[in-house]
Structure 1
Amino acid sequence: MSGLRDSLAGGASSVCRAWVLRRADGLILGFTDHDRDLVVDGVPCRAASGMNAGALQRSTGLAVDNAEASGALSHDAIRSEDLRAGKWDAAEVTIYLVDWSDPAAFEITFRGTLGEIGWGPDGAFTADLRGLAEPLGEVQGRVFQTRCDATLGDARCGVVLGPLHSEEVEVLGADREGVTLRVPELRHFAPKWFERGRLIVLSGAAEGQSERIKTDRIEDGARVLTLWSSLRLSVAPGDRVRIEAGCDKRRETCRDIFDNVLNFRGFPDVPGEDWLMAYPTAAGQNDGGRR
């Protein structure tokens, strides 16, 4: 920091910005808006990468910093397929202010993660940068609600998603965005059986991608599954997928369909808003007893 302070105090500064991204799979890439490559904090940062950082708004306390990274997919370091596959989701981001004449003199101006990635024309993309305080806004602990807060099939739920609750099939067809897929009818499963469930791609270009199922209906001798959001990579006829049953989180469903009421994680007897709004009246019995 002292070297950078001396550079800034000299009147004619030679500073640029650099940012280093660390993906969850261990890949580390560096970029800079300088006109030549630099090595910053031990990481080679490429120039002319087609990636730029927007203005950074910083605040005191626990407020979340706001920033944005934007660019065009003009460099083989960041591929459209990787972005759409989610490989860059929640990647760690460090932004530096660097003296390009002496890259060892730098200051870290931002540290956080990549957030939501948006798309524009001609392969352009934008990504929100989320500060270190972002996780503090997430719900911690249990939520007391009438419906179960466990995920069907996880350790808290305890249901084993075997042949009665899941199926592996080949895709008959899919739309371009990967939101609506057609699979065999599977008559041994009732319509809507897979609503609120999950679809996992087992082969093809989108292998490994998964998404929650919004609707499940029978149409023209096939089962049509609509997902809550796009798989982001194309799914072709013949690709294999695994579809898992869904649960509406009600105690009756847990008891009657999955025979799992002992593991039910909801609070169905919690008073609702109508009880909170109740008040005594002049007429009738008001002794607090049960009517």
Structure 2
Amino acid sequence: MTALPTLPPAVLAEELTHLALCWRLVRRDGAALGFTSHDRPLLVNGLRHESRPGMSPSAVVLGDGVTVDDMEVAGALSAGALTATDLLAGRWDGARLDLFLVDWRNPGTGRQWLAEGTLGDVAVGTGADAGFMAELIGPGAALAASVVEICSPECRAELGDARCRVDLRRRERLTSVTAALPDRVQLAGIIAADHVQGELAVLSGPQAGLIRRILAEDTGWLLLDEPLALAVGTRVHVGEGCDKRFATCRDRFGNARNFRGEPHVPGADLLTRYAV
């Protein structure tokens, strides 16, 4: 999908405005939705933007400063598109959102960019006219992150990333659910303990597309970070995890040379240690 040019200044300077606010939401799995404040759907850059006059952002302030550019977006829920069930289940967590203006007379000519970012915390209302309120985390939020790593006994890399370099292709499995409770599952043909701190992605059934992190193992059960209602036989994709300890990196993965931590540096508890 090619980027649209910026709207000509003459369109923005017209006394009688023909501008419509548009939203473009793209989930992490690639599913995309478009909405517009106009009273009829608009086709913008190949994506149909459905009419949602109730969707509105908080004040949009554009500038050249370096402050963190977070904002809030609010809108109405739709039975066919953006539903409370999907929002609360986490399907839209981390989705990319683009907010822009177009000339509704000819929406394919260009757009005026207003804001972009990812969806953060989402709150869903109740009742017949329920809506949602979501935090939009802009690119400037990265400026608040520390760029200097802190010395730690645990590894600061993520399993399989460019610094860890462990090949995950041999450590991922397609399998099925053999037993399930709201906060835990049992899977066929895996070593449960090896998947602690890994991820479980649902591939079939009504929960398809949801991803949960595996927090712990308990006598063959994998404990999940959030409840997930799965039926026996549901197909899932599960990846191994790492507890970020040096012994695990060395003994299980054979990857000690890429360990990104300081396991042998004395910590703040050095003076409180005593011989047993």
Same fold (TM over 0.5): yes
Aligned with residue 86 of structure 1, among 82, 86, 91:
91
For the residues of structure 2 that align with 1:23 and 1:71, how far apart are their CA atoms? 16
Which amino acid in structure 1 is aligned with residue 230 of structure 2?
A: V
Q: Does the aligned pair in 1 maintain the 2:91–2:209 contact within 8 Å?
A: no
Q: Is 1:19 the equivalent of 2:22?
A: yes
Number of the residue aligned with 2:166:
158
Q: Is 1:181 the equivalent of 2:172?
A: no
For the residues of structure 1 that align with 2:108 and 2:160, how far apart are their CA atoms? 51
Q: Is 1:195 the equivalent of 2:196?
A: yes
Number of the residue aligned with 1:248:
243
Q: Does the aligned pair in 2 maintain the 1:93–1:112 contact within 8 Å?
A: yes
What per-residue deviation string (whole Å, max 9, x for no partner) do you get for residues 71-102 of structure 1?
22236343556654635733231233x78799
Identity of aligned residues (%): 29
1:63 is displaced (CA, Å) by 0.6
For the residues of structure 2 that align with 1:105 and 1:243, how far apart are their CA atoms? 44
Which amino acid in structure 1 is aligned with residue 99 of structure 2?
A: T
1:162 is displaced (CA, Å) by 4.6
Change over 3 Å in CA distance of 1:52–1:166 after alignment to 2: same
Which amino acid in structure 2 is aligned with residue 158 of structure 1?
A: V
Q: Does the aligned pair in 2 maintain the 1:147–1:267 contact within 8 Å?
A: yes
Number of the residue aligned with 1:119:
124
Number of the residue aligned with 2:6:
none
TM-score (norm 2): 0.68
Change over 3 Å in CA distance of 1:102–1:142 after alignment to 2: same
For the residues of structure 1 that align with 2:118 and 2:168, how far apart are their CA atoms? 34
Aligned residue pairs: how many? Answer: 256
1:31 is displaced (CA, Å) by 0.7
Q: Does the aligned pair in 2 maintain the 1:4–1:99 contact within 8 Å?
A: no
What per-residue deviation string (whole Å, max 9, x for no partner) do you get for residues 38-60 of structure 1?
67899765434542323335565
Q: CA RMSD in A?
A: 4.2
Number of the residue aligned with 1:283:
none
For the residues of structure 1 that align with 2:191 and 2:108, how far apart are their CA atoms? 63
Q: Is 1:4 the equivalent of 2:12?
A: yes
Task: Determine helix, strand or coil for the equivalent of 2:24.
Answer: strand
1:133 is displaced (CA, Å) by 1.9
Number of the residue aligned with 1:288:
none
1:217 is displaced (CA, Å) by 0.7
Number of the residue aligned with 1:281:
none
TM-score (norm 1): 0.66
Correspondence list, 1:1-291, <5 A: 1-7=9-15, 18-23=21-26, 25=30, 27=32, 29-32=34-37, 34-36=38-40, 45-48=49-52, 50-56=54-60, 61-74=65-78, 76-79=80-83, 83=87, 84=89, 86=91, 89-96=94-101, 108=112, 110-116=114-120, 117-122=122-127, 124-140=131-147, 144-154=151-161, 156-158=164-166, 162=170, 168-175=175-182, 180-183=183-186, 189=191, 192-218=193-219, 223-230=220-227, 234-273=229-268
Unaligned runs of 5+ residues in structure 1 are: 8-12, 278-291
Task: Determine helix, strand or coil for the equivalent of 1:172.
Answer: strand
Which amino acid in structure 2 is aligned with residue 118 of structure 1?
A: A
For the residues of structure 1 that align with 2:19 and 2:52, how far apart are their CA atoms? 13
Change over 3 Å in CA distance of 1:161–1:62 after alignment to 2: same
What per-residue deviation string (whole Å, max 9, x for no partner) do you get for residues 236-284 of structure 1?
2221334444322111222234443233222223453468x9xxxxxxx
Unaligned runs of 5+ residues in structure 2 are: 1-8, 272-276
Q: Does the aligned pair in 1 maintain the 2:26–2:33 contact within 8 Å?
A: yes
Change over 3 Å in CA distance of 1:259–1:89 after alignment to 2: closer
Change over 3 Å in CA distance of 1:137–1:148 after alignment to 2: same
